[in-house]
Amino acid sequence: MSDFSVAIVGRPNVGKSFLFNSLIGRRKAIVDETPGVTRDRLFARFKHKKKEFTLIDTGGITLSKNDTLSRKILQQTNQAIKEADLLIFVCDVKEGVLPLDIEISNLLREFQKEVILVVNKVDNEKLRNYVDEFYQLGLGEPRPLSVTCKLGIKELLDEILEHVQLSEELVLSENVLKIAIVGRPNVGKSSFLNCLLGEERVIVSETPYTTRDAIDTLLVKDKVKFLLIDTAGIVHKRKIKDRITFYGRVRTIESIRRSDVCLALIDVREGIVKDDIRIINTVIEEGKCCIIVVNKLDLIEKPNFAEYESYLLKNLPFLKNYPIVLTSAISGFNVLETLNVAKSIFENSVYRVPQEQLDDFLKNRIFDKISSYPMDLARKNIKMFQNSIKPPTFYIKAKKKDILKKEMLRYIENKLRENFPFFGTPIRILLNDSS
């Protein structure tokens, strides 16, 4: 199995994320004309013709030390360069060789890594005449490219693959438990991920919306593979003021959909607010396992779990069906425990109830509650089957649809939870009117 990695680097707004998306064939990184949209390292696994590598998108290098965020972006990019086996240095033909390009080329030489120099935005033959100018960077032959016009992408990919060894299997398989870390802006999602990993894998800042893309990281703990997905903070549609926030929200919802379990982070100091409730409801509506993670426990004195759990259940009674874990990403308290809980409730989401047990469940727990149907008619005219998992989904066939009101369906769900291991996972009940 290959662990070859390729990092895309360059100053802001030269088209790195656009190239990243073009190479992997899908829109994973947010692309916008605003410089500095990409801040963390963004990973994608690529397999082609039995060759496999990890592609890494990075934030724009400014080499500025005047603000904390720029320093952290540079720190993330330096880490990507250290980890990578091959670097793709992207420049902009329309702006020519800038002093910052020269500084970056000097920086790359210090790492002594193989570099493919790419000159982007070569959209026509006239612009191709300016490509030779980039020889002065001292990184070999500059390759003309136009991501917008899809010119040179295939050739660049072929050149990358020349450096990659044959691989026999993908790193990510069906045995990986995908966990999305979701929540409002600034509830500590990135700090939580960094604590899980034991390193500053993503940028942590007091500034809201620091994370824009969904960041994937593979973690192996106790021989179990977890794909950890850090996401942008979800805000209500009315609060979206720019395209970056909009696309961040879209990516987060996509991340929820491709996850198995979601960790819904709440700030213990602020309690549960409307945006928290919307996020939890989104997770459940998408049919995903959910853990309510109450974070920043280190910022309050003498935390009382029983009191906080009582407060949550009083405001949101349906949370009794989902685990609540109090944590501190700063101290590390209970953070790793969320992985054990995630593994447990995911197993619940794939549990199938044997049909004979479902038949017995209907007979002994449900029929006597259906007052509009005599017992013998209920046995003949109501059948129940489990037709899918993730989430557990049950199909009820009834001669008369109106005998099973919404209240009755809620009763059936509650009884299913009492009798079978469905804690932490949504349950769906579909009603068929066969009359």
Last residue of a domain, one of 162, 196, 227: 162
Residues 315 and 365 in one domain: no
355/38 Cα distance (integer angstroms): 50
Residues 229 and 319 in one domain: yes
Checking if the pLDDT of 394 tops 70, the result is: yes
Please report whether residue 124 resides in a domain: yes
pLDDT at position 67: 67
Report which listed range, 8-22, 43-57, 197-211, 366-380, is most confident.
8-22
Structural domain count of the chain: 3
Q: Where are the beta strands (DSSP E) in 68-110?
A: 86-92
Select the more confidently predicted residue: 376 or 319.
Answer: 319
Residues 328 and 380 in one domain: no
Residues 105 and 224 in one domain: no
* pLDDT above 90 as % of the chain: 43
Residue 407's domain is classified under what CATH number?
3.30.300.20
Please report whether residue 171 resides in a domain: no
Q: What average pLDDT score do residues 103-113 get?
A: 89
Please report whether residue 97 resides in a domain: yes
pLDDT at position 57: 87
The CA distances from residue 392 to 171, 292, 424, in Å, are: 28, 20, 11
Q: Which phi-psi region, left, alpha or beta, contains residue 51 (left: φ > 0; alpha: ψ -120 to 50)?
A: beta
pLDDT at position 249: 61
Lowest mean pLDDT among 115-124, 186-195, 197-206, 311-320: 197-206
Q: Which of 90, 102, 111 is nearest to 12 (CA)?
A: 90
Last residue of a domain, one of 311, 327, 348: 348
pLDDT at position 430: 86
Element (H, E) at 179: strand 176-183
Q: What mean pLDDT, rounded, does the chain reach?
A: 81
Please report whether residue 300 resides in a domain: yes
Last residue of a domain, one of 105, 140, 162: 162
Residues 392 and 322 in one domain: no
pLDDT at position 431: 78
- Interval 261-320: pLDDT, tens: 999 999 999 989 998 999 999 999 999 999 999 999 999 888 788 888 999 999 899 999
Neighbours of 379 (CB within 10 A): 14
Residues 152 and 261 in one domain: no
pLDDT at position 383: 82
Please report whether residue 33 resides in a domain: yes
92/27 Cα distance (integer angstroms): 21
Residues 148 and 258 in one domain: no
Cα torsion angle, 74, 103, 155, 149, sign: positive
Residues 86 and 211 in one domain: no
pLDDT at position 38: 42
Q: What are phi and psi of 378, to 5 degrees?
A: -60, -45
Residues 344 and 363 in one domain: no
96/99 Cα distance (integer angstroms): 10
Token pair for 34: 């605003």
Residues 343 and 399 in one domain: no
Residue 158's domain is classified under what CATH number?
3.40.50.300
267/147 Cα distance (integer angstroms): 41
pLDDT at position 165: 64
Lowest mean pLDDT among 38-47, 90-99, 249-258: 38-47
Token pair for 382: 């109501």
* pLDDT above 70 as % of the chain: 77
Please report whether residue 168 resides in a domain: no
Checking if the pLDDT of 140 tops 70, the result is: yes
Range of 199's domain?
176-348
Checking if the pLDDT of 243 tops 60, the result is: no
Please report whether residue 428 resides in a domain: yes
Q: How long a stretch of residues is the chain?
A: 435
pLDDT at position 7: 92
Please report whether residue 403 resides in a domain: yes
Angle at 385 between CA 381 and CA 389, to 5 degrees: 160
pLDDT at position 206: 42
- Binning pLDDT at 50, 70 and 90, where does residue 168 land? very low
Residues 188 and 334 in one domain: yes
Checking if the pLDDT of 47 tops 80, the result is: no
Residues 198 and 139 in one domain: no
pLDDT at position 283: 95
Q: What average pLDDT score do residues 133-154 get?
A: 92
pLDDT at position 23: 86
